[in-house]
Amino acid sequence: MNKNIIIKNASQLVTCSGFKAKRGKDMSDLQIINDGAVVIEQGIIRAVGKTGTTISEFDESRFSVIDARGKAVLPGLVDSHTHFVFGGYRAEEFSWRLRGDSYMQILERGGGILNTVLATRESKKDKLIEAGKKRLDSMLSFGVTTVEGKSGYGLDHDTELKQLEVMADLDNGHPIDIVRTFLGAHAVTKEYKGREDTYIDYLIDSVMPEVAERKLAEFCDIFCEKDVFSVEQARRLLSRAREMGFKLKIHADEIVQLGGAELAAELDAVSADHLLQASDKGIHDMAEKGIVATLLPGTAFSLREPYARGRYMIDNNSAVALATDLNPGSCFSESIPLIFALATLYMNITTEEAITAVTINGAAALNREDEIGSIDVGKKGDVIVLEFPSYEYIPYHIGVSTVEKVVKDGKLVFDKEKE
């Protein structure tokens, strides 16, 4: 398939230009080119600028040409925190929460993550691939071109590897790039309840070495939370993971203020995620180290919890990313438009900051800021075309996708007009 594309006459070419995460006030700088064009050759961006001067040096007959007149063009979006490979569903738990049961109460009686663990253990690999592909297709329609996927619904050797293998297969067969994260420390099964240190030993000794040897995951993550894994246990697991070659992430300070944000800074994690209860010190420590704060407003919305302090973080020079946290329990949604709406309407994050958070900062949360997340020469040709002339329509059209076309690696992989 032709990987040479010219997109021209864009009313706004929203480049989000940069090769590192944007922090604080810099998150508002979208580097917009009016009447812009981008030239993608062999899947790589070769030229960016005003239409007239940019395309004059290229023979358009060698390219597929998209006329984006009256439309805004942005980098492909990055959903940097999901759990999209799983078996079964938990619709009944949503009803329980509506009746007043808390997330932790449901987990304590064998629901929550443990419910999905049983279903995922029983699911055949081909069924997980089939379901995962459908979810990826939906993400693509929202403009997502790179997604992070976590394991963590196995909590045993075979199923954890099965989840990661499914993601590897999908990465090879689907347009969306998948960044894999090992999250074996997502919860504790009944046989290890009260013996969490032994379970950490099991992961370190019996699961992680094979994941590392087979290169099934790039990142290691842990759910550092009261009654799940302590800061000390998280430090031990992540420190060993780093020695094995994994980059680090952490589910931090979601339900109680435990010190996960401070630990992320201590260990130089790539990102710390959730952060609903993160302390001022934790936020400042992360900002000082340049660690991406990945916020997941869809989960707070679904659990009816206070939102993470995104405004405070940005005002204190943090690099903030936004992601869906797609999972079968606390946030069964892959809707990027919903995330935009929640961030702008309820977290006091501006539209410009939200766009940065799902482009260059989302890329930085996956250690990919040098190759995706902005429309810059030398980066992958991952670009989306909106139906409307301005990026401001994204949160304005509440909860509805404004994406008309998606280009991935220089190939048109989604076109709403042809669906």
Looking at residue 50, what DSSP letter applies? E
Structure tokens at 195: 């013996």
Instruction: Report the CATH number that the domain containing residue 312 is assigned in CATH.
Output: 3.20.20.140
201 and 348 share one domain: yes
> Could you list the pLDDT tens digit for every one of the 419 residues in the chain?
578 999 999 999 999 999 999 999 999 999 999 999 999 999 999 999 999 999 999 999 999 999 999 999 999 999 999 999 999 998 888 888 888 888 778 777 767 888 899 999 999 999 999 999 999 999 999 999 999 999 999 999 999 999 999 999 999 999 999 999 999 999 999 899 999 999 999 999 999 999 999 999 999 999 999 999 999 999 999 999 999 999 999 999 999 999 999 999 999 999 999 999 999 999 999 999 999 999 999 999 999 999 999 999 999 999 999 999 999 999 999 999 999 999 999 999 999 999 999 999 999 999 999 999 999 999 999 999 999 999 999 999 999 999 999 999 999 999 998 87
113 and 151 share one domain: yes
297 and 396 share one domain: no
**Taking a C-beta distance cutoff of 8 angstroms, is the pair 384, 406 a contact?**
yes
Amino acid 272: pLDDT: 98
For residue 156, give the nearest of 192, 125, 180 by alpha carbon.
192
128 and 71 share one domain: no
149 and 10 share one domain: no
218 phi, psi to nearest 5 deg = -95, -35
100 and 219 share one domain: yes
Would residue 369 count as lying in a domain? Answer: no
Would residue 304 count as lying in a domain? Answer: yes
Domain extent for 27: 5-75+374-418
Would residue 145 count as lying in a domain? Answer: yes
Total domains, the chain: 2
69 phi, psi to nearest 5 deg = -60, 130
Instruction: Report the CATH number that the domain containing residue 60 is assigned in CATH.
Output: 2.30.40.10
Helix (H) or strand (E) holding 159: helix 157-173
50 and 196 share one domain: no
Helix intervals (H) in 267-396: 280-289, 297-303, 310-315, 336-346, 351-357, 360-364, 393-396
pTM comes to 0.97
How many angstroms separate the CA atoms of 194 and 401, rounded?
A: 45
88 and 57 share one domain: no
Amino acid 59: pLDDT: 94
How many angstroms separate the CA atoms of 325 and 196, rounded?
A: 25
108 and 66 share one domain: no
21 and 114 share one domain: no
94 and 237 share one domain: yes
Would residue 156 count as lying in a domain? Answer: yes
Q: Which amino acid is at 92?
A: E
181 and 265 share one domain: yes
